[in-house]
Amino acid sequence: MAALLPVRLARAGRRGAGVRRTAAVLLGGGRMALIAVTSPGGAPGVTTVCLAAAFTWPDPVLLAECDPSGGGVLPGYFAGQQPYRIGVAEVAMTAARDLEAARVQLAEEAVPLDGDARRRLLLPGVADPRQALQIKGSWPQIAQVLTTAGRDVIADVGALGVESVPYAILTAADAVVLVLRPTVRFVAMAGPRIEALSRGALAATPHFLLLIGEGPYPAAEVSRTLGGTPILGTVPMLPKAAHILSDGAAGRTRWAGRLQMSSLLRTVGNLGAQLRERLDSASEEQPAAAVGVVPPASFGAGPDLHPGPAAGADSGGGRR
Ligand SMILES: Nc1ncnc2c1ncn2[C@@H]1O[C@H](COP(=O)(O)OP(=O)(O)O)[C@@H](O)[C@H]1O
Ligand SMILES: [Mg+2]
């Protein structure tokens, strides 16, 4: 970790090209990306898709659980059986006195998702929401550690609620992915969030929708209703596989979920690789700008959704 980005360079820019390209030079590797994954609420499957993405990401990756309501992977996928040494709260404490020490701690003590290979790491989230209150002033430092971790980071930010949203993670991100289901309820919740994401410090950050499940509304209509926000893709409903990722499952259930699991991992893996490529070409073509971003959403009084055809109407940045 000694070759990692010096703190003063990390402070030199908010996010993106300048900082990350410098890191790439120092590390001799590709440009690193921080992808924040969030939802409008309603538990559409953020943690599940983040874990699937961490298992399939094309490059070395860290899944950082930044959901203030609590981390879900240790009690969920690992069913409480995985020993761990640090979580986001410990990194916050270390970062408060020494950012470089926090980076070393992260690299050495994060939980491996792939055994000794350590290409896929997990930084567990808080176990108690009261802990999130204690570290709520530390998200900027945590963001600095994550953006200079020397690998891509998928940050599970949880739901965009009223309070405790770790905005520093969102503003440090190269892309924000809003996970939702294509229903009136989710689209109604997503509207004001998309509008908020399209303003202020987040206006230049590309944001995408990731749909969980099909219908009743076609992806293109969901996108249109949400100000034309591009759709990264659709993850099919695969409850057995999702259950293994979100809640852990042993023996027969694991076996029964195998086919579904390969389908889930294949879909999420493809979407992750596409997103990674988009970010790479965005930084090459237009370093400081948000390429592929749709203009700020003009989300009005309510979602204007009408039942559409059952399938196949996806277009314009829709499901691939
Ligand atoms: N693609 C999917 N198909 C079926 N069920 C899913 C899918 N993704 C998530 N789920 C289920 O939805 C519930 C919430 O998932 P979770 O990832 O914890 O949501 P969030 O992090 O948004 O709160 C879990 O029971 C999970 O198994
Ligand atoms: Mg979650």
- Expressed in angstroms and rounded, the spacing between residue 230 Cα and the centre of ligand 1 is 22
């034309």: which residue's tokens? 228
Domains (range + CATH), the chain: 29-285 (3.40.50.300)
Stretch 163-190: mean pLDDT, rounded?
96
CB of 47 closer than 6 angstroms to any ligand 1 atom:
yes
Contact assessment for residue 268 and residue 260, using Cβ atoms and an 8 Å cutoff: no
CA-CA distance, 216 to 309, in Å (whole number)? 8
pLDDT tens by residue, 197-230: 998 899 999 999 999 999 889 999 999 999 999 9
pLDDT at 163: 82
- Expressed in angstroms and rounded, the spacing between residue 284 Cα and the centre of ligand 2 is 33
Concatenate the DSSP letters of all residues of 99-121 into one string: HHHHHHHHHHHSEESSGGG-SEE
What are the Cα distances from residue 16, in Å, to 144, 276, 290, 291?
Answer: 12, 14, 10, 12
CB of 44 closer than 6 angstroms to any ligand 1 atom:
yes
**Considering only CA atoms, which of 126, 117, 131, 138 is closest in space to residue 87?**
126
> Which atom of ligand 1 is closest in space to residue 48's alpha carbon?
17
Q: What is the CA radius of gyration of the chain?
A: 19
């003063």: which residue's tokens? 8
Which of 237, 240, 246 to mutate to test ligand 1, by most ligand atoms within 8 A of the CB atom? 246
Q: How does the average pLDDT of the chain come out, rounded?
A: 82
Concatenate the DSSP letters of all residues of 195-259 into one string: HHHTSGGGTTS-EEEEEES--SS-HHHHHHHTTTPPEEEEEPP-HHHHHHHHH---HHHHHHTHH
Contacts of 110 (CB under 8 A, 6+ apart): 62, 86, 121, 122, 123
Is 109 a residue whose pLDDT tops 70? yes
Least confident stretch, 89-98, 143-152, 225-234, 257-266:
257-266
Is 155 a residue whose pLDDT tops 60? yes
CB of 272 closer than 6 angstroms to any ligand 1 atom:
no
Stretch 226-246: mean pLDDT, rounded?
96
> Which atom of ligand 1 is closest in space to residue 212's alpha carbon?
1
CB of 48 closer than 6 angstroms to any ligand 1 atom:
yes
DSSP letter assigned to residue 156: E
pTM for this entry? 0.82
pLDDT at 282: 81
Among protein residues, the one with the nearest Cα to ligand 1's atom 13 is 45
- Expressed in angstroms and rounded, the spacing between residue 65 Cα and the centre of ligand 2 is 9
pLDDT band at residue 24 using 50, 70 and 90 as cut-offs: very low
